[in-house]
Structure 1
């Protein structure tokens, strides 16, 4: 006799909401895992403008060209992220979030350690930058599957009324990873130039192994997403291709979500990767001081993201993100004026305006904003695809676009970057305006 299929009610009874202990464990695991992932990923970005032009390209090459090529390799990692998002999203939607997140974290840690052990151009010639490209692409694949998985593990372990705040806990892994990356790299940047370039820059990459072990332990202990288990019990996860479902059933949501995230992600990467070497080149601050300024702003950023996410739980995703767009447009020119002031405390204030205010105001609700666009059986793939394609358009292009715009012959300098950012924010705000409000009020 055939076994009766599970109804939605049966599934809910078999897989009830997570207990408070399971919820806390999921939130901590998502936060720590995302922190480790972004520590590894952003560490490359922090080193791209300061270290790699000196070590992985010929000494005879112009350092500006070396920096541009380092940013191209950085972009390669971002281009790989949508591929990783679709790949890991497929298996995450079919077989569960937990095991996929274990794999992505392991991949990131191994690649980071490998970068720390890499021989330079002087040792192996052209193989050095080519190997760096390969490792960066593997990093991109891993982080492409990480962001959505960590965000969903947090969001799907809580009640709907708290989903924005819960998703933001995983999202804050980004600035937390940035704090760790820039803080540790900044400490070693205080070494004499010769020692820093010889071995000092390698230590932060090798320390990734310690963080990965902690993150893997926490991921091992976390329970699978209750939402996924309920979908699995109904048989929804065993039918069709998640990517095909997303493209067929959610084309509008995918496009709107992708364009909505590009602006905030541009600001994040521009500050972390382009602005540090920019202010150092101006002579106003040294390398270590600039990294510490970025670290301080990222520390405040950790608390700003959940704050704006909490506001979105109370007032809706769209109102908060649209208000964030207005804040971004109003403050971007003052922010660049602070960076160009040549005054220590004003440059530090520029980072504070950029990260915890401009970037966080629109970025805070992003996790819930994207997750609520898709059903459970397509959610991992849908969120991965929208966020990671948006990251290519925003963060991936940020260093190269910023370097090109600031050197345009029109004399605009950083004002060119500001206008480009305003364009991205305007497009993003229009996409938010065209999106449905997904906050469920009870």
Structure 2
């Protein structure tokens, strides 16, 4: 009998924590993920507006520079599964708290150093090489961050409210995006940056400020996390002698089916998000004929408005997942996502799209994103037993990032160039169907006890 089956057939009482401790954990998990996602999105925004011009050789075709920037952007997603293995090992061996501190430091230091890098014009090919290295380190840090934050929330949740508790670290994604893009909007406005201005203050030094100031946010995050205690679920595993020496080997030996299911359950979520953020930004600000020709400043404003739909729908998804169940909620949202894929050619077609239709596209996409993303920090940890939960949920989450996020902007840009924007919607539909199949194959997990080994 597999360990996952044991979780179903031999339930035990979950450890309880008091309300004050639970509030402290909620704040710590949300603040930490906000900082981590801020670091990640600062890079994503710069990958469209800054790096193609400052870190890659000039080329007559601007699409080539953008694709090169997206390739470097995707390096972090390649690094994330490695980060989930490294930090997952220590998270399942020494605990959630210490591992979360290490992941935050890794991400924060890499982001800060990006703000100090020389450009291609200053040191040549060394510049994109260093940028790629820092992006890889960002991926390592984020690879260990999400699982730890999700486990903090789920392993201390009150009975029947695990999806609601788990949605708090998920709010770090839209909050981090809001702060990152809001910061860029302020800089672009104050420094009078305009499209095609490669010599002004923003492109010379202003773009570095969001990266450098991440150091302050990391210090705040470390302060919050050092005040945490280890989760009672992990303490119980330690006291009962159920820790494993090699969590990676154990998770592949006992939980390979949840690994595969978790990866494909998550893949459409990643694809959707990076289509409605990173790719659509590049498409929206590209000149008419290649894209929509919307000024960069105006497009940032549209994104910042739409992100509130993401913030609103995450708590909605948490409530639905607790009341209706994880599986039923994810099936319904996947069906909506498939329908959304049919709207790309209508809302984003170059000859008919307006800022109004783009705002509708962004807002609807972000709302759906919150509905699919909100329950994931409950669903993925619930698939795995305690002694490999950090490793297993992290690997599923981050391998999905390669299949869904790392290639999404690159594939979408190539599809638009060859077949038009409607092909990007078909791409989303295909990926959503793959996730829907995985969701249909999963068991309902809302009643599983997190304290089981």
Whether TM-score is above 0.5 comes out as yes
Choose from 393, 396, 400 the match for 2:410. Answer: 400
2:270 corresponding residue in structure 1: 265
2:430 corresponding residue in structure 1: 423
Q: Is the 8 A contact 2:255 2:384 kept in 1?
A: yes
Choose from 330, 347, 351 the match for 2:339. Answer: 330
Q: Is the 8 A contact 2:72 2:132 kept in 1?
A: yes
Query: Distance in 2 between the 1:159 and 1:90 partners?
Result: 27
Q: Is the 8 A contact 1:82 1:389 kept in 2?
A: yes
Give how far 1:160 is off: 3.8
**Map of 1:204-283 to 2, 5 A cutoff?**
204-237=210-243, 239-281=244-286, 282-283=291-292
**RMSD (CA atoms):** 1.7
Report SS of the residue matched to 1:218: helix
Report SS of the residue matched to 2:359: helix
Give how far 1:362 is off: 2.1
Choose from 334, 342, 356 the match for 1:345. Answer: 356
Give how far 1:60 is off: 4.6
2:7 corresponding residue in structure 1: none
Give how far 1:16 is off: 4.5
2:89 corresponding residue in structure 1: 90
2:205 corresponding residue in structure 1: 199
Query: Distance in 2 between the 1:263 and 1:293 partners?
Result: 23
Give how far 1:284 is off: 4.6
Choose from 364, 376, 379 the match for 1:369. Answer: 379
Query: Distance in 1 between the 2:320 and 2:233 partners?
Result: 24
Q: Is 1:175 aligned with 2:165?
A: no
Query: Distance in 2 between the 1:61 and 1:78 partners?
Result: 29
Q: Is the 8 A contact 2:302 2:359 kept in 1?
A: yes
Choose from 389, 396, 400 the match for 2:399. Answer: 389
Gaps of 5+ in 1: 1-11
Query: Distance in 2 between the 1:283 and 1:300 partners?
Result: 23
The structure with more helix, counted as a fraction of residues: 1
Query: Distance in 2 between the 1:387 and 1:347 partners?
Result: 29
1:291 corresponding residue in structure 2: 300
2:74 corresponding residue in structure 1: 75
Q: Is the 8 A contact 1:323 1:361 kept in 2?
A: no
Q: Is the 8 A contact 1:54 1:63 kept in 2?
A: no
Q: Is 1:189 aligned with 2:200?
A: no
Q: Is the 8 A contact 1:258 1:387 kept in 2?
A: yes
Give how far 1:334 is off: 2.2
Query: Distance in 2 between the 1:297 and 1:216 partners?
Result: 30
Query: Distance in 2 between the 1:52 and 1:19 partners?
Result: 47
Q: Is the 8 A contact 1:267 1:354 kept in 2?
A: yes
Query: Distance in 1 between the 2:100 and 2:63 partners?
Result: 37
Give how far 1:229 is off: 0.8
Query: Distance in 1 between the 2:401 and 2:267 partners?
Result: 6
TM-score, normalisation: structure 2? 0.91
Q: Is the 8 A contact 2:344 2:424 kept in 1?
A: no
Q: Is the 8 A contact 1:76 1:137 kept in 2?
A: yes
Query: Distance in 1 between the 2:151 and 2:278 partners?
Result: 27
In structure 2, do the counterparts of structure 1 residues 243 and 132 end up closer, same or farther at CA, with 3 Å as the change threshold? same
The worse-fitting range, judged by mean Cα deviation, of 415-424 and 31-40 is 415-424
Query: Distance in 2 between the 1:284 and 1:404 partners?
Result: 18
Give how far 1:299 is off: 2.5
The worse-fitting range, judged by mean Cα deviation, of 75-84 and 336-345 is 336-345
Gaps of 5+ in 2: 1-11
Q: Is the 8 A contact 1:284 1:343 kept in 2?
A: no
The worse-fitting range, judged by mean Cα deviation, of 296-305 and 224-233 is 296-305
Give how far 1:89 is off: 0.3
Runs of 4+ aligned structure 1 residues displaced above 6 Å come to none
Report SS of the residue matched to 1:407: helix
Query: Distance in 2 between the 1:166 and 1:302 partners?
Result: 15
Query: Distance in 2 between the 1:306 and 1:248 partners?
Result: 35
2:8 corresponding residue in structure 1: none
Query: Distance in 2 between the 1:236 and 1:392 partners?
Result: 32
Query: Distance in 2 between the 1:382 and 1:19 partners?
Result: 28
2:146 corresponding residue in structure 1: 147
- 1:375-418: CA deviation from partner (whole Å, max 9, x where unpaired): 1111000000000000110011111111111112xxx4121111
Query: Distance in 1 between the 2:385 and 2:413 partners?
Result: 40
The worse-fitting range, judged by mean Cα deviation, of 200-209 and 335-344 is 335-344
